[in-house]
Chains A and B, each alone.
Chain A
Amino acid sequence: MSRGRRFLAALATLGVAGAAAFLLLTRPASLAEGAVPNHVADLRNGEVMYHAGSCVACHRAAEGGPGADRGLPAGGFAFPTPVGRFYPQNLTPDPETGLGRWSERDFVAAMTLGVSPAGRHYFPAFPYAAYRSMTKADLLDLFAYLKSLPAVKAPARPHELPLLPLAQRGVGLWKQLALRAEPWAPPPGRSASWTRGAYLANAPGHCGECHTPKDWAMVADESRHMAGGPHPAGEGKVPSLRGLLAAKKYKDVADLALALSAGEELGYENLSSGGMAAIQQNLARLPDSDLQAIAEYLLSLE
């Protein structure tokens, strides 16, 4: 072989090895056997999880699209990010375009591994990095609640993203970093109410998706948990949720619980911009004890 040919052969070998390593490192995970327990669903708890996660804030129907008049999570509304526009999944039980044919196992894999029933990575605009900390019971209750909604036929729009298939597979590399640690679990030794609030805020509520800043690899920087930072949509800032009492933003737990429940209806005007208005209106549908619990947890962050 001439020198030129040897060089080309070496380059080709490197290319093949690189592609093989990429495919191996980005291989979508699958659920272990027995990962989905037998469970009798509690629809009321599923509805609480649905509102705690503000599912409909991102999965809402396109303006004037199917399901929009009933506020159903039929998807179609664009979710803008600096890398492209995402169109979240139809969460209603339509068999062709929604979750109608999904199994409990499909749902748990989507929510905890970020993998679709077809075995593809979901982009982390879908916050499974937080949802994977939800209990199996809560996940299965939420799934049952979604299955109980009226079915809406709303065909999915493809995400508008450069190099979509490669980027989608590449999410596997991000997962190597972002899902490396164990799922979040509440620290022991706190009151039942604080623990409930911490769980709701960190697992279904995924507050940290916006309120915890991200590092160079777009992974949440937990050393700055809930400390605020640049707005993920690209313009403006997300406020810090630490030191809210010291900064006199809220008087006490009852005041913050009322702010979450009423938002700007009672003049809490800093809960209206940057997408928070929709979150607040979902939280408003939680039982008051849960709002008190979230407020107790948030005001404990110094």
Chain B
Amino acid sequence: MNLSKRIVAAFAALAVAGVAYASDAYTARHEAMEKVGGGMGTLSAMAKKETPFDAAVVQATAKMQEAELKKAAAQFLPDTAGGKSRAKAEIWTNRADFDALMQKTAEALVALQGVKDEAALMPALRAAGGSCRTCHDKYRLPE
């Protein structure tokens, strides 16, 4: 390979790596968020009394959600907006606010893990879900 071909190849490799970096981050956080949402489905069915109350399921589900939320939060890497992602550019310009909302949501999910009786489930779930809404309202584009 002569020099100019090598330069072109190097740029092409960099471009591929860049796209892979953005799409890996998107895929990782998207999948993690889908799991958080799946947990909401399980717990809201229980809160609506469509399924029987089970404190152990509440605890395990909210623990899983907390872990997945933290995984997702770590994947909002610089320059990974655009494409299929609905992440707003403001995430990166208001990073401290975004991180604080993520932290608040994680704390609400920790509180949800401590629910021991049926009456406490609905308010704890709505607090956590309301926290999801605040962040989606500010930082997620419409479909």
Contacts and interface: CB of A to CB of B under 8 A. Distances in A.
Contacts of A265: 125-127, 129-130, 133
Given A236-B142, A237-B142, A267-B44, A273 B137 contact: yes
Interface string A212-249: 00000000000000000001000111110000000000
B116 to A, nearest CB: 20
Interface residues of B, number: 22
A151 B43 CA distance: 42
Contacts of A258: 48
Interface string B93-135: 0000000000000000000000000000000011101101110
Interface residues of A, number: 21
Contacts of A266: 40, 44, 47-48, 125-126, 129
A117 interface: no
A29 B130 CA distance: 44
Nearest to B40: A267
A262 interface: yes
B129 A238 contact: no
A267 B136 CA distance: 12
Contact of A272 (B44, B47, B127, B140): B140
Contacts, number: 66
A269 B132 contact: yes
B141 A262 contact: no
A272 B126 contact: no
B41 interface: yes
B136 A277 contact: yes
Contact of B132 (A235, A238, A272): A272
A264 interface: yes
B141 A264 contact: no
Given A273-B137, A277-B137, A264 B130 contact: yes
B35 to A, nearest CB: 13
Interface of A: 231, 235-239, 258, 262-267, 269-270, 272-275, 277-278
Interface of B: 37, 40-41, 43-44, 47-48, 86, 125-127, 129-130, 132-134, 136-137, 140-143
24 contacts: A235-B142, A237-B142, A237-B143, A238-B142, A258-B48, A262-B126, A264-B130, A264-B132, A264-B133, A265-B125, A266-B48, A267-B37, A267-B40, A267-B129, A269-B37, A270-B143, A272-B140, A273-B86, A274-B141, A274-B142, A275-B137, A277-B133, A277-B134, A277-B136
Given A258-B48, A262-B129, A267-B41, 8 more contacts: A264-B129, A265-B125, A265-B129, A266-B48, A269-B37, A272-B132, A272-B133, A273-B141
8 cross-chain pairs, A with B, having the tightest CB-CB distances, nearest first: A274-B142, A267-B40, A236-B142, A277-B137, A264-B133, A272-B136, A265-B129, A265-B126
